[in-house]
Amino acid sequence: MANIKTIQAGKYNSLLANALKEIPEFKKPEWADFVKTSSSKERPTSEPDFWYKRAASILRQIYIKGIVGVNRLRSRYGSRKNRGKKPSHHYKAGGKIIRLILQQAESTQLIEKTKLPKAGRQLTQKGKELLESISGGAK
């Protein structure tokens, strides 16, 4: 069985995104096609499976890091903004998309909120089993 960390992230995320499409609680909201993912972006994403790929990426990050909060994920998915002649700066990603994906994962009991040792969200046993079953199929 392959370890999640040894599989290429893009390949693993696409497999996990396909598995998340089959879960009825993971639905892309109607407004998701019209909003930017960050203030550093010029346009909304045009990728049709963006919602599921971002959800898969967030679940993979939680698996690797352990306990992760929304603010850390905002920093992780942020990017540099082109400010013309001025130097570019890093801007955090929008929090609404990340929070909603985390809430959808909580409703399926893949993750849970924690208070100690630090506040954030961590995977449940059901979530770990799902992610590891996907890694077993990927080579």
- The residues facing 90 across adjacent strands are 80
Over its length of 139 residues, how does the chain's per-residue pLDDT go in tens digits?
568 888 899 999 999 999 999 999 899 999 998 999 888 888 888 888 999 999 999 999 999 999 999 999 999 999 999 999 999 999 999 999 999 999 999 999 999 999 888 889 999 999 999 999 988 766 5
* pLDDT (0 to 100) of residue 2: 67
Identify the H or E element spanning 89: strand 89-91
* Token pair 């079953």: residue: 133
pTM, full prediction = 0.91
Output the CA–CA distances (angstroms, integers) from residue 35 to 89, 91, 115, in the order listed. 21, 16, 31
